[in-house]
Amino acid sequence: MLTIRFLAFALLLLVVACASNGRNDLYQALGGESGVRRLVDEVVRELHSDARISKLFKDTDDSYFKERLFEQFCELSGGGCTYAGLSMEEAHSGMQLTETDFNFFIEDTRVGMTRAGISIGAQNRLLALLRPMHGDTLHQ
Amino acid sequence: MMELRHALLTMGVIMALATVGSVHAADEGRLLATGGLVSIEGAAGGGIVPMAVLAGLSTDPGWDWVAGASHSTVTDFSLDTLGVAASFNDRFEISLARQQLSTDFSHDTGLAENIRQTIIGAKLKLGGDLIFGKVPLMSAGLQWKHNDDFALAEVLGAEDDSGLDAYFSVSRLHLDGPFHRNWLFNGTLRATRANETGLLGFGGGRRDGYQMVGEVSTTMFFNPEWALGFEYRQKPQNLDSVNESDWRDVFVGWFPNKRVNLLLAYVDLGTIANRPDQDGLFLSVTGNF
């Protein structure tokens, strides 16, 4: 009897946990609109100061780039935005990005997120959502 | 105690050299911790098991070098290992390891106190990817082992002083796993005739042929620098006279930067040469050059 009650309680916890794992829950964990804008600012700043890949961004229109990054992170994290930029293939076409470039971007994104005060858990969730873009950005 | 001092000195030298200088200023283009450590048999892996990843963190064309040392002290023994591994274009890895098991057997057997073993390894990346794509990273490897102090193993009934292990490994880093942490899963299938990884020779009266054993490890990264995990290594049972146990450990890994990696484990090696309850601490240090 005790076991059944325990199982029912565990099931309830699981349901509650899943429910709270709602669509915009990550967006909130990133700090909502101001949080995501801040993290985009920090990430772009880090990309420019990283000598290993800053050359890839030297001709970038920062305000356009930041707006697209914001839309993308907002959409991915369930903030209700719609990414209005080019597809990942188009955006990186002709750049011939390598595995190394992608990894450095990931590292800089982590540094930027940490500087923006994002928790490790939320960082991992956002990075996991960026994972499918790996194939679309490389070697285009 | 002498061995521990020696081991700590070796580890210090590896860390210092890795921190100070890089042989060819590698680009370190792979993500932190994705080159693994130098495992006790020399191959890139964890503490006591190999992984599908290849040694080093460079994506530059050419060779990438790492060196590692480990020391473990369990109830009646201590094991020191020193290994060097190099990967070529992140496709192919070669490794060389030296192991020394220190025992107190000389008192009751008159045999050598220390058993040394040399291991030459090769690993080939077959395909897949550690993080991206649908297919996990897969590699296959060989380890040729030679026991340099075979006398004790021979007394215990081992057939050969050298042997060849063949293994197949699969590794995958799962992003955003349980607790919103990144998890590294690793599985290896090994064909072997080795007794106590070869330290007690190869083959025996109970069983002499090749046997398949499984080795697994799971690591949870609290953050990019700190990890917690366990390893489990199945072992064959070839010798008539002594029992052999599976090996296991729980560990904390520290990856302060791309040059130096550390692993501290509590290991449980079970019964070795009929001495039961061999458990203790294991420390491993790897330097990327």
ipTM for the predicted complex: 0.87
Predicted local confidence at residue B120, as pLDDT: 98
Q: Say whether pLDDT at B17 is over 60.
A: yes
Q: Residue B67 belongs to what H/E stretch?
A: strand B63-74
* In the block, residue with structure tokens 């080939």: B124
Nearest to B49 by CA among B266, B222, B197: B197
Q: Would you call A100 and B29 a contact, using CB atoms and an 8 Å cutoff?
A: yes
Per the CB < 8 A criterion, the answer to whether B33 and B258 are in contact is: no
Query: Quick one: pLDDT at residue B88?
Result: 93
A125 close to B (CB below 8 A): yes
Looking at residue B129, the DSSP 8-state letter turns out to be B
Q: Residues B154-165: pLDDT tens digits?
A: 999 999 999 999
Under-70 pLDDT residues of chain A: 1-4, 6-7, 9-23
3-class SS at B44? strand
Asked if the C-beta of A117 comes within 8 angstroms of chain B's C-beta atoms, the answer is no
Best B89, B130, B134, B176 residue to mutate vs chain A (most A CBs within 10 Å): B176
Specify the amino acid at residue A80: G
pLDDT at A3: 65
Stretch B36-53: mean pLDDT: 96
pLDDT tens digit sequence for B198-245: 999 999 999 999 999 999 999 999 999 999 999 999 999 999 989 999
The predicted pLDDT at position B237 comes to 94
Length in residues, chain A: 140
Determine the residue among B31, B34, B226 to mutate to test chain A binding: the one whose Cβ has the most chain A Cβ atoms within 10 Å: B31
Task: Write out pLDDT tens, residues A2-38.
Answer: 566 766 766 666 555 555 555 689 999 999 999 999 9
Report the alpha-carbon distance of residue B288 to residue A10 in Å, rounded.
Answer: 46
CB B258 within 8 A of CB B32: yes
Whether the Cβ atoms of residue B229 and residue B46 lie closer than 8 Å to each other: yes
On whether the CB atoms of residues B79 and B64 are closer than 8 A, the answer is: no
- Mention every residue, 6+ apart, whose C-beta is less than 8 A from residue B108: none
What pLDDT score does B2 carry?
Answer: 57
Contacts of B238 (CB under 8 A, 6+ apart): B158, B193, B195, B202, B203, B204, B205, B206, B207, B208, B211, B244
